[in-house]
Structure 1
Amino acid sequence: MAASSRGALAIRGLLRTSSPRLCRQCATTGLQIRAPKSWRAYSGAAAAASTATTPIDLPPTTTPTPSEPATPQQQQQQQHGKSHYRIQAGIILTRAPLLTAEETPFESAFYFYQKRLNERLSMPFVTSVYFKPDTPALIDWNLKVRDREGTVAKELGVYHGRSARAWDDELAAGDPLSSRAAVYDALLRDATMRVSDDAEIIPVDERVAPEAPRSRVTEADRAGDVARLDRALDRTLYLVVKGADGRWAFPAAAVATDEHLHETAKRVMDKTAGLDMNTWMVGRVPVAHHVVRPVLGEDGSLQKRGEKTFFLKARIMAGQANLAGNPFGYTEFKWLTAEELKASVDDKYYHSVRNMLADR
């Protein structure tokens, strides 16, 4: 397009002050576009005009499509009204693990390899930095290092990180040197003092061995007492109670009209297990739910109401459960692991809560 034609279009746009601005294509083709009517939003006449509907503003008519037939699940939901269910709130009271998990053979071998690798890469151990000369501590250290044939580490066996065989730092399959028991024995043997404060060698029968760590297996584990909290120290325990019907489940009760779910769960926990526990509610949002369908007669009449139970999670910090005087009819309680819980409750009940159980 020439420059003169562009100038003519610009002048034409300036002269048409009453018309809306047009693009170059609309101006050359002569397309007529009506400007919108000016109106004031606060005017009553404008409001009346805006509410009036013209045939052009009506949406296009569509032929109604026939509704699809309801599925059996939808028919069952329509049949079971809201009044056929009782809303309940339950509490899943847990005791967190007190010990770390038992190491697998692969983990033990890996950590042992890392320790020997550290012996190869670390600087030589300088005794003058840690021990004063001619002291009982230095004499005791020299005796223990001589028994280990010069190995500085206490639980690695005989290994020299700077020798020609330093590359051979892996254990053979089945070697018990990396086991927990072997590590305990090595550390306890090294912690026994062999030199007295007078720099004299203590006889073997007069040496005092340090106190060994307690066993991971407690007296409750040996006795099989599932009502105690000092059992399965490396696992998460869950409180379950035995109801009047003989079934084991988490404590639960119906939600009152003036209560929230977390308030009902707190009330159930206090009235079921007593106030002799220091507990903590993790949150106010349910972590699992369980649905029991209502029982209907042949004529569709309600025989027994169903239940929708929402479970909230809590932690026990101290204390113990006490079912004395509880108003829900619970007679016994247990602290169970996830595997023991699966064997104690119904299959459908466990299927509803299985996804919130901890891995260990």
Structure 2
Amino acid sequence: MNAGQQMTRRLASRAGQSICRSCRDSISRNTYATAAAAAVQTEDQLAQHIPPVAQASPSTSYAVNAGVVLSRPPQITRDLHPFEAAFFLYQRRLNERLALPFTRYFYFKKRTAADLEWKRKMKQRLTPARDIGRYQGYGDEAWNDEVLIGAKESDFEHQVGKLLEDVERSGLEDASEPTGAHKIEREPVDRPMPRVTEADEKNDTKSLNRALQRTLYLLVKNKEGQWQFPQDRLKDEHLHGAASRIITHAGGVNMNTWLVGHTPIGHYQLDYPEARTSGDLKEHGAKTFFLKARIMAGQVNLKENKLGLQDFKWLAKDELRKEVDGSYWRSIKNMLAER
């Protein structure tokens, strides 16, 4: 006799009367479900006390490496988008339009040296601000100050050239300048450095004086001929100490570098085709944990490097992708800055 039949008889005996068939079947079904749930719960509870079985041998392991993502940050601001350049030109022209109604005597007293210089320069350049092109704030055409698409006035290099030209002119070019002891000596004008360097033109990937608008990363060729970040195996040291050692052993002592933090910014796992024996352990692969670093001054020198490195390059993110292996790139791409 099962548990459901026993419960049915007990209920019938307590009530002193018989139970209809539908009620008896319902009681039996509920009892079976309850008993099954209790049995499953009991089995689950017992299973929780079973110790887990080790899936791998205790002698199986991975080699642990430390890697360094050494970067040079951008040195100059990025080039303006054409829309940004047009907007800034519009702002300067708007400022000039608002400033023109004020008389110059608000700024300069009549017949002073500053007033005479203002008159001379205005006569030559025909506008208060040379870099934004000619604009006449009075008359029927005062409203016509829009810049056409492709106009040279919106070009950054044109604006810089016009500003330098304005600084170099004294306003006396049309007049006969004095000679001898009374000749006017002009101060030299410092010109801005070009945004495109000689290293850019030669595509010198070993120079840090290139791609000044981008972040450059140090990529080295190891003794197996693979391009990767500088790395080496841990040797009874923590990651931060290993990263500091790797920088010196890879690039020499003539670099002023700074390790940004003690926490890895990412890792790369390499699985060997066949297990390798290292002492008493069988290594199935290597795991490299990368720390972030900056170079402040100096340059890489591989002549006395202790890691067997063959070559190096300073590359931006999109350039670096073309040099490294596909699986390596998928592991490191989120650690690198787009600009």
Q: Distance in 1 between matches of 2:58 and 2:141?
A: 78
Aligned equivalent of 1:171? 147
Q: Secondary structure at the match of 1:64?
A: helix
* Bigger relative contact order, structure 1 or 2 (CA pairs below 8 A, ≥6 apart): 2
Aligned equivalent of 2:242? 264
Q: Distance in 1 between matches of 2:113 and 2:294?
A: 50
TM-score by length of 1: 0.69
In the alignment, which of 99, 104, 109 is matched to residue 86 of structure 2?
Answer: 109
Q: Give the Å deviation of 1:202.
A: 7.9
Q: Distance in 2 between matches of 1:309 and 1:211?
A: 49
Q: Is the alpha carbon distance of 1:169 and 1:202 closer, same or farther for their aligned partners in structure 2, counting shifts above 3 Å? A: farther
Q: Deviations over 1:169-212 (max 9, x none)?
A: 4322222211111101210111113246xx96589xx9887343
In the alignment, which of 140, 158, 165 is matched to residue 189 of structure 1?
Answer: 165
In the alignment, which of 159, 164, 167 is matched to residue 135 of structure 2?
Answer: 159
Q: Distance in 2 between matches of 1:180 and 1:81?
A: 66
Aligned pairs, number: 283
Q: Distance in 2 between matches of 1:94 and 1:182?
A: 33
Question: Is the Cα–Cα contact under 8 Å of residues 85 and 294 in structure 1 kept in the other structure?
Answer: no
Question: Is the Cα–Cα contact under 8 Å of residues 100 and 137 in structure 2 kept in the other structure?
Answer: no
Q: Is the alpha carbon distance of 1:313 and 1:164 closer, same or farther for their aligned partners in structure 2, counting shifts above 3 Å? A: farther
Q: Is the alpha carbon distance of 1:64 and 1:240 closer, same or farther for their aligned partners in structure 2, counting shifts above 3 Å? A: same
Q: Is the alpha carbon distance of 1:183 and 1:195 closer, same or farther for their aligned partners in structure 2, counting shifts above 3 Å? A: closer
Question: Is the Cα–Cα contact under 8 Å of residues 95 and 238 in structure 1 kept in the other structure?
Answer: yes
Question: Is the Cα–Cα contact under 8 Å of residues 136 and 195 in structure 1 kept in the other structure?
Answer: no
Q: Secondary structure at the match of 1:155?
A: helix
Unaligned runs of 5+ in 2: 1-37, 48-53, 180-184, 276-280
In the alignment, which of 302, 315, 319 is matched to residue 340 of structure 1?
Answer: 319
Q: Distance in 2 between matches of 1:334 and 1:125?
A: 57
Aligned equivalent of 2:3? none
Letter in 1 for 2:163: L
Q: Distance in 2 between matches of 1:249 and 1:290?
A: 11
Structure 1 residue 120 corresponds to structure 2 residue 97: yes
Q: Give the Å deviation of 1:148.
A: 3.5
Letter in 2 for 1:314: A
Q: Give the Å deviation of 1:341.
A: 0.7
Superposed CA RMSD in Å reads 3.2
Q: Give the Å deviation of 1:156.
A: 1.5
Q: Give the Å deviation of 1:347.
A: 1.7
Identity rate, percent: 43
Aligned equivalent of 1:220? 199
Aligned equivalent of 2:212? 233
Q: Distance in 1 between matches of 2:328 and 2:82?
A: 35
Question: Is the Cα–Cα contact under 8 Å of residues 137 and 195 in structure 1 kept in the other structure?
Answer: no
Question: Is the Cα–Cα contact under 8 Å of residues 194 and 202 in structure 1 kept in the other structure?
Answer: no
Aligned equivalent of 1:32? none
Q: Distance in 2 between matches of 1:328 and 1:193?
A: 58
Letter in 1 for 2:253: L
Q: Deviations over 1:27-58 (max 9, x none)?
A: xxxxxxxxxxxxxxxxxxxxxxxxxxxxxxxx
Q: Deviations over 1:250-276 (max 9, x none)?
A: 00011223x211111111011111111
Letter in 2 for 1:340: E
Unaligned runs of 5+ in 1: 1-59, 68-76
Structure 1 residue 282 corresponds to structure 2 residue 263: no
Aligned equivalent of 1:83? 60
Q: Distance in 2 between matches of 1:267 and 1:355?
A: 25
In the alignment, which of 292, 307, 310 is matched to residue 270 of structure 2?
Answer: 292
Aligned equivalent of 2:73? 96
Q: Give the Å deviation of 1:144.
A: 2.2
TM-score by length of 2: 0.73
Question: Is the Cα–Cα contact under 8 Å of residues 279 and 316 in structure 1 kept in the other structure?
Answer: yes
Q: Is the alpha carbon distance of 1:159 and 1:291 closer, same or farther for their aligned partners in structure 2, counting shifts above 3 Å? A: same
Structure 1 residue 309 corresponds to structure 2 residue 288: yes
Letter in 2 for 1:248: W
Comparing 305-314 with 136-145, greater Cα deviation is found at 136-145
Letter in 2 for 1:290: Y
Q: Is the alpha carbon distance of 1:85 and 1:245 closer, same or farther for their aligned partners in structure 2, counting shifts above 3 Å? A: same
Letter in 1 for 2:119: N
Q: Is the alpha carbon distance of 1:169 and 1:306 closer, same or farther for their aligned partners in structure 2, counting shifts above 3 Å? A: farther
